[in-house]
Each structure stands twice: as C-alpha cells, then as structure tokens.
C-alpha cells in the first residue's frame, strides 16, 4: 500500500479546525429575563452538577467524515504491483521461407541478454518459421525492417537486435548482437539464367550439389563464388549444405518451319536459334508459313522495279534495334506490298515523292510480320541473324537472344544473410526501466466524501429556522 500524492494529506488539517469551531461556539453574554421566570427555572432544576457535557451534532460528524475521506482520496492510496519487464527482439533472417537455421541459439542468447524479461520476437518475411509467437514484419531492405521494428515497439522499454552485420541505425535502438557466432561456408544465395547457362552464386568454402546440371566452370568473383552450369535434364535443382534449394525447369522454345523457309541459309539461321524439338509443345512462332501464326511470311509482294527507289524506315520500331540498316539491301528481290489499312508499314519504297509500295508490314491483329521479298537470303549472315532475332522479338515480345531458356523457383537467403559473420556487441540494453502497475482506491474514497457532503447539505436544509418576534 502506498500514497502517490502524500502532500494531499494536508487537507486533514481541516479536522482540528472543525472540532475547535464546534466546541467553542459563542453564546450571548447577556440575557434579560423577568425574576418570576428565573425562580420558576430554579425550582424545576435539579441540583446543579459541576460536570460539563458537550453534545456533537450529526452535521459535525458528516463534515468530519467528508474532510477525512476527501483528504485520503486526494492522497491517491493504491497498491503497487511489480510486472515482468518486456523486451522486443529483432532477429534478422539468414534463411528463407519456413527454414530459419540456428533460431533457437539466437533466442537463447537474447534471453540471456534480457535477464529474464518477457520477449516479443520480430522477424521479416511472408511466412513465419516453425517457432511460436513470432511477429512478422514486411520483407524488404534491412533499413525498412528496422524502421518497422522501431515503429511497432515504441512502448517497449528495451530492445535487442540480432543482425547479420553491424548497422548504424540499429545502435540507437538498443543492444546489437551478432546473428551468428560463426560464419557459414558455401551458402547459396542467388541463381539466375543467362542464355543457355545457369549461374549460381554462393559464399566461399563449400560445395554445391547440382542435379540434372552439367558444370561448366567455377571461379571467384569478389566475395562470392560464381558457378556456371548447363541443363542436362528438363528438371534440375541445386542444393547447398545448409538446406537452401532451388528448382530449375527448362522453358521450351519451339519454332515451326513452313514451306517458305527451306534454303540452306534458312536452315543455318534456324540452327542458330537453338530451338527445341517440337515433341509435345506447340511452336511459339512459325518461319515462312502462310497458314499458321504468329509467323514470318516471305516473298508476299508483287514484282516491281526498285533500282531508283528511296527506302524509308520506322526507325524507332523494335525490328531495327541494333541493326546496321546499311548492311541490308531492301531493294533486293524487287517486290513490294500494296498498302493495307489493317497493316502497319515498317519499310517503304518511294520514287519522286510517290509511294511505290511497302517492303515490310506488320499485321498487329493476326500477329504476322510480312516481307515483300526475302531479306534473310540476300543480306549478310550476321545481319540476317540479327534481323531474325528482332523479327521474332516483335512477334513474341522478347528476342530469342534475351529469352530465358529456363525458370528458377525456390526461396534463397539474401546476400547479406549469406555473408553473416560475428562482430563485437554494440549498443546497450536498458535494464533500468522497470515496468509496474498500480491499483488505486482514490475514486471510491472521493465518492464517499461526496456522499458525506451531500448528506451534510441535506441536514442543513432540513433544520428549522428560528422565529424572530
């Protein structure tokens, strides 16, 4: 039991004042009366007693009770109860998904640093690891995670942060501990596709376990080890010694060949695409086909004389990206396409300011690229290969040279998590802040004082007033 406002007890000094006023009431010093009245009173009165008595009225008791209760209530008596201290713990993740290595070790070191406080554990990620009472933060950069942690723990008196590496923002938040006590080796943290190759990045000192992949080379690149593979099976995977794993699926790229794509040059250009065989997957694009789409159609124009014609291009179109236009003779073949309102002209020929016809048109509705002649046959092989790459990119939205030939799925730790290493402890743990709760009784005492004041007022209002003659 304690008093939160002890100086309020000075209100109790009003009690002696009330008693003094009640016991020392002033009386008339002189009273004029007839002698007959005096003798009658003397005859009726018993022998006088020398003992003086005083009677305290109910009004005085009510006023005393009101003063006592109000004084005690203003002093705010209550019972103080000690609570278990709270500490917020931020654990930077070194795993992915529901895999979080060495989590129990991190929690144990946090409990030891918190000295028996009740822990509130926070981690970032889309799903919580196999650990109860973990509060999730939105994934993102470490700066964003620390900002979320600070905002959600404003009312927590102490914080502990277990990080993969020191961070200047974390030092002002609380005690900063290393996430790991020993650096891990051979952690896989990135897998990508570069053309026909699969590129894996990992930390030094460990070996990866590929399946369905043929290694090409492995070399150091900065703080990482870069390993290249080629797919030997349609489905493959890479695993490290820490349980991180990704799955690689070959993305088939099937190209259909029509009757117009039949020359030796055509077959060489088709081989350069490195397309997959059309086993079960339908062709993504057709070369030299007049029946299927999307497709490249050749020699679709009518004969025309183009020796003196001027050639104009839609230079901003993707068909001409990185293409040396001077290396392709669009006049070769002497064929032109008639203007069609449903097709967009990409290459046109004109003479004396008058349009002779179009040399290349794009039918965006049917997704067909129409050539009046066959520039793939007449142009140099390098320009022809680049033109074919651009043409397929126009129809499919992505050039075959930039098209990933495989897809990678699976969760991997970040590079910061993969390179996590021990460091010196930083910051301080605020152990001086003690949480406590109080249960006060002031409201009940003040209510009783108010009731006593109401009763005193009612007593005064009911007293009969003296009749003056």
How many other C-beta atoms can be found within 10 angstroms of the C-beta atom of residue 288? 22
Query: Is the distance from CB of 360 to CB of 311 less than 8 angstroms?
Result: no
DSSP class of residue 103 equals: H
Q: CATH 3.40.50 residue ranges in the chain?
A: 86-183+418-433
Query: Is the distance from CB of 284 to CB of 292 less than 8 angstroms?
Result: no
Query: Is the distance from CB of 235 to CB of 409 less than 8 angstroms?
Result: no
**CA–CA separation, 209 and 206 (whole Å):** 10
Range 110-137 average pLDDT:
80
The percent helix, strand, coil of the chain (3-state, each to 5) is 30, 30, 45
* Confidence at residue 99, expressed as pLDDT on a 0 to 100 scale: 76
**Bridge partners for 354 per DSSP:** 351
Among 167, 93, 89, CA closest to 121: 89
Hunting for tokens 């008595």 — which residue is that? Answer: 53
Instruction: Report H helices in 45-91.
Output: 58-74
**Bridge partners for 123 per DSSP:** 136
Q: What is the pLDDT of residues 202-248, one digit of tens each?
A: 999 888 999 999 999 999 999 999 999 998 888 999 999 998 999 99
**If you count DSSP H runs as helices and E runs as strands, how many of each does the chain have, helices first?**
11, 25
Q: Which two tokens stand for residue 117?
A: 């406080």
Among 3, 133, 27, 15, CA closest to 78: 3
Q: Quick one: which H or E segment has residue 124?
A: strand 118-124
Q: Are strands 354-363 and 344-351 parallel, antiparallel or unpaired?
A: antiparallel
* Confidence at residue 468, expressed as pLDDT on a 0 to 100 scale: 44
Q: Quick one: which H or E segment has residue 248?
A: strand 245-250
193 burial (CB, 10 Å; 0-12 / 13-18 / 19+) is middle
Q: Quick one: which H or E segment has residue 17?
A: helix 14-23
More confident residue, 462 or 53: 462
Q: Is the pLDDT of residue 396 over 70?
A: yes
Q: What is the pLDDT of residues 184-200, one digit of tens each?
A: 999 999 999 987 889 99
What CATH number belongs to 86-183+418-433? 3.40.50
Range 365-383 average pLDDT:
90
Q: Is the pLDDT of residue 417 over 50?
A: yes
* Confidence at residue 152, expressed as pLDDT on a 0 to 100 scale: 92
Query: Is the distance from CB of 250 to CB of 231 less than 8 angstroms?
Result: yes
Q: Which two tokens stand for residue 109?
A: 């070191």
* Percent over 90 (pLDDT), the chain: 37
Q: Which two tokens stand for residue 321?
A: 């990206």
More confident residue, 138 or 52: 138
Among 227, 225, 200, CA closest to 215: 227
Among 89, 84, 93, 83, CA closest to 173: 89
Phi, psi of 115 (to 5 degrees): 55, 55
Q: What is the pLDDT of residues 48-74, one digit of tens each?
A: 444 444 555 776 777 777 777 777 777
Q: What is the mean pLDDT of the chain?
A: 82
How many other C-beta atoms can be found within 10 angstroms of the C-beta atom of residue 394? 20
- Confidence bin at 378 (pLDDT 50/70/90): confident
**CA–CA separation, 249 and 213 (whole Å):** 11
Provide the greatest CA pair distance for the chain.
161
**CA–CA separation, 459 and 111 (whole Å):** 64
Among 383, 405, 394, CA closest to 346: 394
* Confidence at residue 353, expressed as pLDDT on a 0 to 100 scale: 81
**CA–CA separation, 64 and 62 (whole Å):** 5
Instruction: Report H helices in 141-216.
Output: 142-152, 168-171
Report how far apart the first and last C-alpha atoms of the chain are (Å, whole number).
58
- Confidence bin at 32 (pLDDT 50/70/90): low
* Confidence at residue 27, expressed as pLDDT on a 0 to 100 scale: 54
pTM (two decimals):
0.61
Among 372, 379, 336, CA closest to 387: 379
Q: Give Rg (Cα) of the chain.
A: 48
CA 265 from centroid of its chain's CA atoms = 54
Q: Is the pLDDT of residue 115 over 60?
A: yes
Q: What is the pLDDT of residues 295-317, one digit of tens each?
A: 999 999 999 888 888 888 888 89
Q: Are strands 406-409 and 245-250 parallel, antiparallel or unpaired?
A: antiparallel
More confident residue, 39 or 366: 366
Query: Is the distance from CB of 319 to CB of 345 less than 8 angstroms?
Result: no
């Amino acid at each position: 039991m304690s008093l939160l406002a002890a100086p309020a007890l000075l209100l109790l000094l009003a009690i002696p004042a009330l008693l003094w006023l009640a016991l020392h009431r002033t009386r008339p010093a002189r009273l004029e009366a007839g002698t007959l009245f005096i003798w009658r009173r003397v005859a009726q009165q018993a022998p006088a007693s020398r003992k003086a008595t005083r009677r305290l009225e109910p009004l005085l008791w009510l006023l005393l009770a009101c003063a006592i209760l109000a004084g005690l209530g203003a002093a705010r008596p209550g019972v103080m109860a000690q609570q278990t201290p709270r500490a917020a713990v931020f654990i930077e993740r070194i795993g992915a998904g529901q895999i979080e290595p060495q989590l129990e070790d991190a929690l144990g070191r946090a409990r030891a640093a918190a000295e028996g406080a009740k822990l509130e554990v926070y981690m970032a990620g889309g799903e919580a690891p196999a650990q109860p009472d973990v509060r999730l933060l939105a994934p993102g950069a470490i700066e964003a995670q620390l900002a979320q942690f600070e905002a959600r723990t404003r009312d927590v008196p102490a914080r502990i942060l277990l990080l993969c590496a020191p961070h200047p923002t974390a030092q002002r938040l609380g005690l900063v501990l290393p996430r790991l006590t020993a650096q891990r080796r051979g952690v896989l943290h990135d897998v990508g596709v570069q053309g026909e190759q699969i590129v894996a990045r990992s930390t030094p000192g460990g070996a990866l376990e590929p399946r369905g992949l043929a290694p090409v080379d492995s070399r150091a690149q900065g703080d990482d080890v870069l390993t290249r593979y080629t797919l030997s099976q349609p489905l493959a995977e890479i695993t490290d010694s820490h349980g991180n794993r990704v799955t690689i699926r070959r993305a088939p790229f099937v190209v259909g060949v029509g009757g117009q794509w039949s020359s030796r040059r055509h077959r060489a250009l088709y081989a350069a695409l490195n397309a997959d065989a059309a086993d079960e997957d339908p062709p993504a694009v057709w070369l030299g086909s007049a029946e299927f789409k999307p497709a490249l159609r050749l020699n679709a124009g009518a004969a025309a004389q183009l020796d003196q014609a001027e050639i104009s291009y839609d230079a901003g179109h993707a068909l001409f990206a990185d293409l040396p236009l001077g290396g392709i003779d669009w006049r070769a073949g002497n064929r032109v396409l008639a203007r069609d309102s449903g097709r967009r002209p990409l290459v046109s020929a004109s003479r004396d300011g008058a349009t002779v016809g179009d040399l290349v048109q794009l039918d965006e509705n049917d997704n067909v690229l129409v050539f009046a002649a066959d520039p793939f046959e007449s142009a140099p092989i390098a320009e022809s290969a680049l033109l074919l790459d651009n043409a397929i990119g126009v129809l499919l939205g992505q050039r075959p040279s930039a098209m990933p030939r495989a897809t990678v799925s699976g969760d991997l730790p970040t590079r910061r998590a993969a390179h996590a290493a021990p460091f010196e402890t930083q910051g301080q743990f605020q152990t001086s802040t003690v949480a406590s709760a109080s249960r006060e009784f002031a409201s009940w005492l003040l209510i009783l004082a108010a009731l006593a004041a109401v009763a005193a007022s009612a007593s005064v209002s009911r007293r009969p007033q003296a009749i003056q003659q």
